[in-house]
Amino acid sequence: MSALSGNAAATPAVALRGVHATYTERGLRVEALHDVNLTVARGEFVSVIGPSGCGKSTMLNLIAGIDRPSAGEIAVDGRSAIGHTGLVAHMPQRDLLLPWRTTLQNAVLGPELRGEPDREARALAQLDRFGLEGFADAYPHMLSGGMRQRAAMLRTILLDRDTLLLDEPFGALDALTRGEMQEWLLGIWTELARTVLFVTHDVEEAIFLSDRVYVMSRRGTMKLEVAIDLPRPREREMTTSPSFVEAKRTLLRSLLAETQR
Ligand SMILES: Nc1ncnc2c1ncn2[C@@H]1O[C@H](COP(=O)(O)OP(=O)(O)OP(=O)(O)O)[C@@H](O)[C@H]1O
Ligand SMILES: [Mg+2]
């Protein structure tokens, strides 16, 4: 942050203004996003929670430039991101490791597409930190669920973008592994000073990781934004602190109102 000039520091990493997304499938019109407003400041960790099908992945796809909104503005670092891929590093909801490539070959996909000569050395230097030492030449089916997610995360980090969009990266993991991965991700985030926009179904995960949490409604709008008042570094004991419990109550109430509708 310190290297940024005053103006640049004030420009959000991600900004959505009045964003709508509409799909037409076999004549049926689905409005996946309705008037979405969201900002993520540089270096911030922001989560989005919401019921299944409310448009979370759609929103990340729009920011990543894979899809286009039907209305509204989307900016990454102050520039329009509509239809521009490559401005952010996007880790999609499904772990998309290529089964015929090893861990290392999967990790270097981004640098390979850019034709970087030292890509394998760069990836190898990171294997330790990603808990993949000794698995450079293993294929995805030989890795555990947590290892696959870390390999996909390494590939995302090696895209060398300031902003990471992570779509339920720990959704398929057991509770213990998930907790370990959350702490590991916070370590990486602190060390690499990236901006993160994180999608999850898990309220506690969102609070534990984030500076702010948005709740999306079933109708594809942002209905609530909660600032998380917990010091960093985060520690597991904080999950019983009054501010954690208060944030959890507020978010759960908002989320339950959606699922009971
Ligand atoms: N390419 C598409 N074509 C048609 N409809 C789509 C497309 N992408 C998403 N949708 C629709 O948009 C809505 C939002 O889907 P999206 O995948 O963004 O939800 P989500 O919040 O990520 O759900 P989940 O929590 O289950 O991952 C759904 O009704 C879905 O069917
Ligand atoms: Mg999704």
Expressed in angstroms and rounded, the spacing between residue 175 Cα and the centre of ligand 1 is: 26
163 neighbors 195 (Cβ within 8 angstroms): yes
**Model confidence pLDDT, tens digit, residues 39-66:** 999 999 999 999 999 999 999 999 999 9
User: Which pLDDT belongs to residue 1?
Assistant: 41
Q: Which ligand ends up closest to the CA of 201?
A: 1
Expressed in angstroms and rounded, the spacing between residue 53 Cα and the centre of ligand 1 is: 5
55 neighbors 49 (Cβ within 8 angstroms): no
Model confidence band, residue 38 (pLDDT cutoffs 50, 70, 90): very high
Ligand 1 neighbourhood includes 63 CB (under 6 angstroms): no
Mean of pLDDT over the chain? 92
Over range 182-190, report the average pLDDT: 92
Expressed in angstroms and rounded, the spacing between residue 238 Cα and the centre of ligand 2 is: 28
Over range 214-239, report the average pLDDT: 96
Q: Which of 64, 63, 53, 47 is nearest to 23 (CA)?
A: 53
What residue ranges do the domains of the chain occupy? 6-88+163-259, 96-160
User: Which pLDDT belongs to residue 10?
Assistant: 86
User: Which pLDDT belongs to residue 50?
Assistant: 95
- Percent of the chain exceeding pLDDT 90 equals 76
Q: Is 139 helix (H, G, I), strand (E, B) or coil?
A: coil
What is the crossing angle of helices 145-157 and 175-192, to 10°?
Answer: 20
Expressed in angstroms and rounded, the spacing between residue 51 Cα and the centre of ligand 2 is: 9
Model confidence band, residue 3 (pLDDT cutoffs 50, 70, 90): very low
Q: Which ligand ends up closest to the CA of 20?
A: 1
User: Which pLDDT belongs to residue 128?
Assistant: 87
Asked if the model's pLDDT at residue 215 lies above 60, the reply is yes
Closest atom, ligand 1, to C-alpha of 50: 21
Q: Is 12 helix (H, G, I), strand (E, B) or coil?
A: coil
User: Which pLDDT belongs to residue 2?
Assistant: 41
pTM over 0.85: yes
Ligand 1 neighbourhood includes 25 CB (under 6 angstroms): yes
Expressed in angstroms and rounded, the spacing between residue 9 Cα and the centre of ligand 2 is: 30
Instruction: Please tell me the distance from the alpha carbon of residue 167 to that of residue 89, in angstroms, as a whole number.
Output: 11
For 1-15, 24-38, 59-73, which range has the lowest pLDDT when averaged over its residues?
1-15
Asked if the model's pLDDT at residue 150 lies above 70, the reply is yes
20 neighbors 70 (Cβ within 8 angstroms): yes
Burial class (CB in 10 A: 0-12, 13-18, 19+), 20: middle
**Model confidence pLDDT, tens digit, residues 98-114:** 999 999 999 999 899 88
Ligand 1 neighbourhood includes 142 CB (under 6 angstroms): no
CATH node for 6-88+163-259? 3.40.50.300
User: Which pLDDT belongs to residue 198?
Assistant: 98
Ligand 1 neighbourhood includes 216 CB (under 6 angstroms): no
User: Which pLDDT belongs to residue 5?
Assistant: 46
Q: Please choose from 58, 217, 219 the residue to mutate so as to test ligand 1's pocket, defined by most ligand atoms within 8 A of CB.
A: 58
Model confidence band, residue 9 (pLDDT cutoffs 50, 70, 90): low
What is the DSSP code string of 189-209? HHHHT-EEEEE-S-HHHHHHH
Q: Which ligand ends up closest to the CA of 22?
A: 1
